């Protein structure tokens, strides 16, 4: 959610941090309370599970150092649960900053965690996962149990990632949460911008605005270019149905619609995360908490 900065100018890129507790569940008398902490390049996510079932989660912005971000998101996820850090039996750290998660018993790559998490969120029919993170894009293949069979990560540049979208939200002065819808608010789909590099695309976009293009049209051209890049990545590992999108950009309807259009395939429907459903942005932390549950059980000998 955009908010006023001290200078009085709006921060259009700023998305809303939040946490949620599923109050119909209780941890009282339960032993296997596990957590997953996913410190991404832009967002930090945490999830708490009871007996391998989702109980609470939180999403916050990653700061300049991973341990602080991990502590912050952990504090946020514990808030309102009545749980203490010491009640958590096993914690798995994942994401870009996984080796620097202080409370983690183990670090596992975000690839394995995202596949497990997507399997938990959408069920066993998921085979291809496109995770669009803050600074990289990953295409992951998994089997019906959520085990990774093959994956490809493109982290050579931030083109086509969440951070690139934040830059465009600011440039075009459209709140980040409305950017997907705005990019679809056009009469005709314009050709994609020729360069997906964030820095060059920004220059190109300014040129298009000067030519008299509407903000929505420029946004559509940029979103299209990003979707083409993501579709290429998926084609590289091979598209196998069902396809899902995780990470922050799963909430960008403009991206998801265009990927579906380019690949000629429907993605599995997005859970209603605003109304208490699971959040695809938390897929990595969800998978980490699930793996934490499995590792805890293993350590207990069952």
Instruction: Compute the least distance from the CB of residue 28 to another protein, in Å.
Output: 28
Helix (H, G, I), strand (E, B) or coil at 49: strand
Instruction: Compute the least distance from the CB of residue 82 to another protein, in Å.
Output: 30
Helix (H, G, I), strand (E, B) or coil at 196: coil
Query: Judged by CB, which is closer to another protein: 16, or 147?
Result: 147
Query: Judged by CB, which is closer to another protein: 100, or 154?
Result: 154
Angle between helices 283-299 and 110-122 (to 10 degrees): 100
Do residues 221 and 190 touch, judged by C-beta distance below 8 A?
yes
Q: Taking Cα atoms as reference points, which of 131, 201, 129 lies closest to residue 164?
A: 201
Read off the tokens for 132.
Answer: 């669009």
Query: Judged by CB, which is closer to another protein: 169, or 295?
Result: 295
Query: Judged by CB, which is closer to another protein: 81, or 94?
Result: 94
Instruction: Compute the least distance from the CB of residue 46 to another protein, in Å.
Output: 19
The number of C-alpha atoms within 13 Å of 199 and in the hemisphere containing its C-beta is: 1
Residue 209: which residues within 8 A CB-CB, separation 6 or more?
Answer: 215, 218
Instruction: Compute the least distance from the CB of residue 232 to another protein, in Å.
Output: 7
Instruction: Compute the least distance from the CB of residue 40 to another protein, in Å.
Output: 17
- Per the listing, tokens 């380019």 go with 262
Binding site for another protein (CB under 8 A): 106, 108-109, 112, 147-156, 232, 236-237, 291, 294-295, 298
Read off the tokens for 85.
Answer: 């850090």
Instruction: Compute the least distance from the CB of residue 26 to another protein, in Å.
Output: 28
Query: Judged by CB, which is closer to another protein: 131, or 216?
Result: 131
From residue 235, how far is each of 130, 161, 230, 231 by CA, in Å?
11, 18, 9, 6
């Amino acid at each position: 959610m955009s908010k006023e900065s001290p200078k009085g100018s709006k921060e259009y890129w700023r998305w809303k941090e939040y946490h949620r507790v599923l109050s119909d569940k209780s941890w009282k008398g339960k032993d296997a309370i596990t957590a997953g902490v996913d410190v991404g390049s832009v967002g930090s996510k945490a999830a708490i599970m009871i007996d391998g079932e989702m109980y609470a989660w939180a999403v916050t912005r990653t700061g300049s150092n991973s341990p602080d971000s991990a502590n912050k998101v952990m504090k946020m996820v514990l808030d309102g649960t009545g749980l203490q850090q010491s009640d958590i039996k096993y914690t798995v750290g994942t994401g870009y900053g996984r080796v620097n998660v202080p409370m983690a018993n183990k670090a596992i790559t975000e690839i394995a965690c995202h596949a497990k998490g997507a399997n938990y969120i959408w069920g066993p029919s998921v085979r291809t996962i496109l995770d669009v993170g803050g600074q990289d894009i990953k295409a992951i293949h998994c089997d019906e149990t959520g085990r990774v069979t093959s994956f490809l990560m493109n982290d050579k540049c931030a083109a086509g990632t969440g951070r690139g979208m934040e830059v465009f939200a600011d440039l075009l002065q459209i709140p980040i949460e409305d950017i997907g819808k705005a990019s679809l608010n056009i009469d005709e789909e314009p050709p994609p911008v020729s360069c997906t590099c964030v820095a060059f695309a920004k220059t190109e976009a300014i040129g298009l605005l000067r030519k008299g293009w509407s903000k929505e049209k420029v946004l559509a051209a940029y979103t299209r270019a990003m979707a083409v890049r993501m579709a290429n990545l998926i084609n590289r590992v091979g598209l196998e149905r069902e396809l899902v999108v995780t990470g922050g950009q799963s909430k960008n309807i403009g991206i998801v619609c265009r990927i579906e259009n380019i690949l000629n395939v429907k993605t599995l429907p997005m859970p209603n995360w605003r109304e208490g459903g699971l959040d695809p942005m938390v897929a990595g932390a969800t998978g980490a908490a699930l793996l934490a549950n499995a590792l805890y059980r293993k350590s207990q000998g069952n």
